[in-house]
Amino acid sequence: MSDEERKVKKGQKRILVFFIFIAVLIFLNPFSISLYINNYYLNHFEKSLNSIPIPSNTRVVKLSSSVGLNSAYKFGEEASNGDHCDFLAFKVLETSLSEKEVTEFYKNRSVKAAKGNGIVQIVIKDFKEASNGNNSFRIQVYDPDHSAMLDIRCG
């Protein structure tokens, strides 16, 4: 191998090491770590809601969750400001049951709080008649005011 080929290989190795260093730096910065931690909690919060059974003659239309500052604001909840994270998970369901039957089914049901400290009650929202003659509604759990931990979505 000639000197010129060695210089090229050495330069390629330096570039590779530089890009690996940058990738590790990006992955391990405090902002990224906070995102991963809060996503972990959000994932478990959503799974807790999803583990709650649904009534008979009911189907899940959508399952979603979000974490961020005032994440529930877009769902009609009271909004607040500050350096904190709000965790929200919800399911949109469609059923042939009445609002009274659905309310009775979910009465006193709760899930573990997003970060494991306590429980959060399930709330029924937006009960209305769907286009196919069934009823649609949303069950949601909302756990506000957790530490943002440098999560840029939260403050």
Please give the average pLDDT of every successive group of 10 residues along the chain, which has 155 residues: 75 87 75 84 93 93 87 54 83 94 94 89 89 89 84 78
Cα of 74 vs its chain's centroid, Å: 14
pLDDT at 129: 87
pLDDT at 40: 93
Bridge partners, residue 137, by sequence = 93
pLDDT at 136: 93
Q: Alpha-carbon distance 42 to 115, whole Å?
A: 8
Encode pLDDT of 90-112 as tens digits. 999 999 999 999 999 999 999 99
pLDDT at 14: 87
